[in-house]
Chain A
């Protein structure tokens, strides 16, 4: 197979976290009994009209700012006409010529052949549209059941320029976009619930070619893994075709996750003539500079800013900062912990160490931690101030991970709490020494090795009373006297 350069463009669809749907007042929440979140508007009843949701527009603009876009101060909605049973109006309200956001840029970092690389992916546009319903296939009866709960959930479509040239880049892009949308607070990006999904366009060309090859499109890929596999398969398939002197046909292909292959959809479905025209039921949306500034200023801290805060303000290593920021829940948890105990490095070490270890073991999940950030902060503080030993802190954390709870209470219950009561220390050491006269004599006779044994006896007897450091100091004093 000769060498081809893949050319990849993405259309990422992300559902916005508004309370109500984009054109009616039904709840936009995921789930619910079939057709229980519907009204005459979103179920496409005759005579009903869409009324656009301000927050959906704001969120789309926020996404635009997060991806470095320019905002059209005059934006128009259009109808995209096609018949499909999940689309009750038989048209989708979308945007064609004057979308809300244009000309963005998303930097990505990824690893290829063990080398870390970076690249900037250009965003052509971000527009606001409505999601379609769901079809549940009933193979037994040969019918589908249409559920319109998802109809009208606000959706943004992020369209890239064909700037990617490998599955790794495309995957990194989708991950980065997910992160940006989560930080912007406009999408939860739960791929398993379909709140973010992607269409992928792939073509290949020879390095000497001046024109792009014929592209194919894979729609509705709903996992990062599927995106990568579909791209890899398509690059392979198209390469094989060209190698055999055949042509790539421009078409929409379905990715079969089980077989890891793409398959052509029936050609009739490909011949789409969407007959776009300006949506007469929705008046064009205008923005003042003040309104755009206000949206921009309401944008929460984005990943790049957060990494800078962690490294420059908190003194974390860039690697640690990136690990934290790469997961918004983790990063937010870290921030909350730092707020409770202002020792970012120490908290970072504990999170990236113990917490991540237990998550990776599958014992706990970030989404459902049995303890609060404040409780974790307290545990780290206790270890730092030697209220528990570093080793015992891990024990306490194990209990917190299993059943939650206050670290101090757990340490106390397990007798791991260190009180540093010097009177008691002296008393116990005296007792240990009197019980081990022989060893004491050996020590005083110059056998330094026996110190370890005595120290061990003291530590055992003083568990939860004081730290080894104090025991050592006190013991040395006693032995010298």
Chain B
């Protein structure tokens, strides 16, 4: 697996690597992909309907609202301010 691909995948997963780590990851990934590539030889196609669990509309959760959790609990594991999660600015 080439470094560009590894770099692209690391961006997709929001992981950052040093160049050295990237090299090592490329090596690991190459070995792993070799195993994964064994499935290329078999000709099978996925059929979503075969995964049907026969759940029908009436089996779904009824639309009843319940109490939410206290805001303090929602935020207890986060850097927070003014009842909200603090996020550094988003660059677009």
Contacts and interface: CB of A to CB of B under 8 A. Distances in A.
| Touching chains A and B, CB distance < 8 Å | yes
B67 to A, nearest CB: 8
A291 B63 contact: no
B25 to A, nearest CB: 19
Contact of B63 (A55, A137, A265, A287): A55
Contact of A57 (B12, B57, B68, B87): B57
Contacts, number: 133
Contacts of A37: 68
B61 interface: yes
Given A284-B48, A287-B57, A146 B69 contact: no
Most buried by A among B14, B55, B66, B68: B68
Interface of A: 18-20, 25-28, 33-40, 43, 51-58, 74, 76, 83-85, 97-98, 135-137, 142-148, 254, 265-266, 269, 273, 275, 278, 283-288, 291
Interface string B56-84: 11101111111011010011000001111
B54 interface: yes
A283 B63 contact: no
Given A20-B63, A38-B74, A291 B57 contact: yes
A147 B78 CA distance: 13
5 contacts: A20-B63, A43-B74, A54-B58, A85-B90, A148-B85
A98 B56 contact: no
B56 A288 contact: yes
Given A20-B66, A54-B63, A85-B87, 14 more contacts: A26-B66, A35-B74, A36-B71, A54-B57, A74-B48, A144-B87, A145-B84, A145-B87, A146-B86, A254-B92, A284-B52, A285-B57, A285-B60, A288-B56
B85 A145 contact: yes
B48 A33 contact: no
A455 to B, nearest CB: 66
Contacts of A135: 87, 90
A247 B90 CA distance: 29
Contact of A285 (B49, B55, B68, B81): B55
Interface of B: 12, 14, 48-49, 51-58, 60-66, 68-69, 71, 74-75, 81-92
Contacts of A40: 69
Contacts of A36: 68, 71, 83
Most buried by A among B66, B75, B82, B87: B87
B23 to A, nearest CB: 23
A25 B67 CA distance: 8
Nearest to A50: B61
A278 B48 CA distance: 9
Contacts of B54: 286
A35 B83 CA distance: 7
B71 A34 contact: yes
Given A135-B90, A143-B88, A273-B12, A286 B56 contact: yes
B55 A53 contact: no
Contact of A34 (B12, B52, B82): B82
A291 B90 contact: no
A39 to B, nearest CB: 5
Given A284-B52, A291-B56, A19 B84 contact: no
B27 to A, nearest CB: 24
Contacts of A25: 61, 64-66
A265 B92 CA distance: 6
A83 B14 contact: yes
When A and B form their complex, which 4 residue pairs have the shortest distance between CB atoms, in order from nearest?
Answer: A55-B63, A145-B84, A54-B60, A25-B66
Nearest to A82: B12
Nearest to B75: A35
B48 to A, nearest CB: 6
Nearest to A88: B85
Contacts of A39: 68-69, 74
Contacts of A54: 57-58, 60-63
Given A34-B83, A34-B84, A74-B52, A148 B74 contact: yes
B21 to A, nearest CB: 20
Given A146-B87, A284-B52, A275 B75 contact: no
A231 B64 CA distance: 40
Contact of B65 (A26, A142, A144, A283): A26
Nearest to A142: B89
Contacts of B66: 20, 25-26
Contacts of A34: 71, 82-84
A101 to B, nearest CB: 14
A145 B71 CA distance: 14
